[in-house]
Structure 1
């Protein structure tokens, strides 16, 4: 694994949001906000790398004083925070999405399906999950395939299974048709186009900027973050991270409620 060189500050700070940068209240603490500002002053670009769509990133980026680019929806969307504009770079093809949905229904009878379009979430009746901060974006439809819209993520919900149990079943059922991951919500899987991950999108962004992995420090807590943590020169699992992340990441920090991201950034700043 690469490592960030002692005496230099990373050029990219790549961080997940929920369970990582954000406290359990869903906010950025004053200490973390100050650490992000100090990192920017030291020359680093702050890049949010999240499962959230742009509309749910906007209200976090502004009070945190973060500008530039965010990687959203597990790598399927690149969001220009400053311009408040986004591009869907890796949608799931409709025919593939239908095939995946069929496999899900056979493997998990009664599974609830929804689609993240980048603008809103289209849900079938069995998909009962609603995110409080994003309720206005949800719209129930007869079938998620009735309308013409980009399929940024296919969402699968089952109240009878944990996310890990779902992953074991679904990843085997759909094989290489799509990328399957989860971000900590019990009973929820997130399914993207093949080859679409946070790490792939981050690598593309870094290459565009002439930044190597050794110049990246990353933070995360869930399986959809793990490839990012392994890509970065220094990848930090939060103390509250999923057990797979804790066992595989090269570094650990304190929990999201203990300002774990800020603690690492403060230490790196002191060494630079």
Structure 2
């Protein structure tokens, strides 16, 4: 491929170590890529609030594609510059399909800034407790449905994905990113790849000028979009089956290894 103008990288399980940090080697590799003229774009399932706190001062400028493509977030200004929420009526139909296929499933909604959680949705992220709001129904609010979250303690995410994808069909995008028993559902057509493509077109950049990194099924679309999409050594089998390129694991600085080769002396 040509020298990349965009480095699109997932965070958890990819750029970040298991401890949830950016290693010194990876931080230096990002700076080297930027110095060579590449733009770093974080492409993540995380909401905006979960991005800035895990990238250091040197790494935390620029654009993040959050919530699996549903949000574009400017890290420098702390602004959401674009959003692609689900239509409430469609989300309600998806919820009906979830109830049929996964009785007892717990629902929550990521709004972009907060989480609306029903009683059956018992997952809580310690660092996000201040952002959770308990609701009788996620559909009682007029806040945007950036991402519908479905949790089951009785099934794995892989099991849920198989049955829910079939039940939902083309109503919405169904995926998962590593949390056991949790599905993430976005508006139809909304993926990391779709939003990255819009960003690239705005800059006059083609897919062949993009290098991407990921480890989970929600990364597959963006890895296939990029001129070179790298699956981490710790990637989900669905990712390795879909991609040609490989790198080392997140704890072995797999992203840095590739960036050093591409942008190093």
**1:116 counterpart residue number:** 110
Q: How much has 1:238 moved relative to structure 2?
A: 0.3
Q: How much has 1:87 moved relative to structure 2?
A: 3.4
Secondary structure of the structure 2 residue equivalent to 1:226: helix
**2:136 counterpart residue number:** 142
User: How far apart, in 1, do the equivalents of 2:81 and 2:131 lie?
Assistant: 18
**1:34 counterpart residue number:** 28
User: How far apart, in 1, do the equivalents of 2:49 and 2:58 lie?
Assistant: 15
**2:91 counterpart residue number:** 97
Encode CA deviations 1:197-240: one digit per residue, 9 max, x unaligned. 00000011000000011110000000010111111111100000
User: How far apart, in 2, do the equivalents of 1:35 and 1:132 lie?
Assistant: 30
User: How far apart, in 1, do the equivalents of 2:25 and 2:128 lie?
Assistant: 26
Asked if the contact 1:122–1:139 (Cα under 8 Å) also holds between the matched residues in 2, the reply is: yes
User: How far apart, in 1, do the equivalents of 2:138 and 2:208 lie?
Assistant: 42
Encode CA deviations 1:96-116: one digit per residue, 9 max, x unaligned. 111111111111110000000
User: How far apart, in 2, do the equivalents of 1:110 and 1:231 lie?
Assistant: 36
- Choose which of 192, 202, 205 in structure 1 pairs with 2:199: 205
- Choose which of 40, 46, 52 in structure 2 pairs with 1:52: 46
5+ residue gaps, structure 1: none
Secondary structure of the structure 2 residue equivalent to 1:87: strand
**Aligned ranges 1:1-272 → 2 under 5 Å:** 4-5=1-2, 9-270=3-264
How many equivalent residue pairs?
A: 265
User: How far apart, in 1, do the equivalents of 2:152 and 2:111 lie?
Assistant: 21
5+ residue gaps, structure 2: none
Secondary structure of the structure 2 residue equivalent to 1:60: coil
User: How far apart, in 1, do the equivalents of 2:94 and 2:62 lie?
Assistant: 34
Asked if the contact 1:214–1:233 (Cα under 8 Å) also holds between the matched residues in 2, the reply is: yes
Task: Provide the TM-score with structure 2 as the length reference.
Answer: 0.97
Asked if the contact 2:32–2:264 (Cα under 8 Å) also holds between the matched residues in 1, the reply is: no
User: How far apart, in 2, do the equivalents of 1:247 and 1:105 lie?
Assistant: 31
Q: How much has 1:64 moved relative to structure 2?
A: 4.4
Secondary structure of the structure 2 residue equivalent to 1:267: helix
Task: Provide the TM-score with structure 1 as the length reference.
Answer: 0.95
User: How far apart, in 1, do the equivalents of 2:19 and 2:249 lie?
Assistant: 13
User: How far apart, in 1, do the equivalents of 2:142 and 2:113 lie?
Assistant: 13
User: How far apart, in 2, do the equivalents of 1:100 and 1:168 lie?
Assistant: 15
User: How far apart, in 2, do the equivalents of 1:67 and 1:234 lie?
Assistant: 23
User: How far apart, in 1, do the equivalents of 2:56 and 2:250 lie?
Assistant: 19
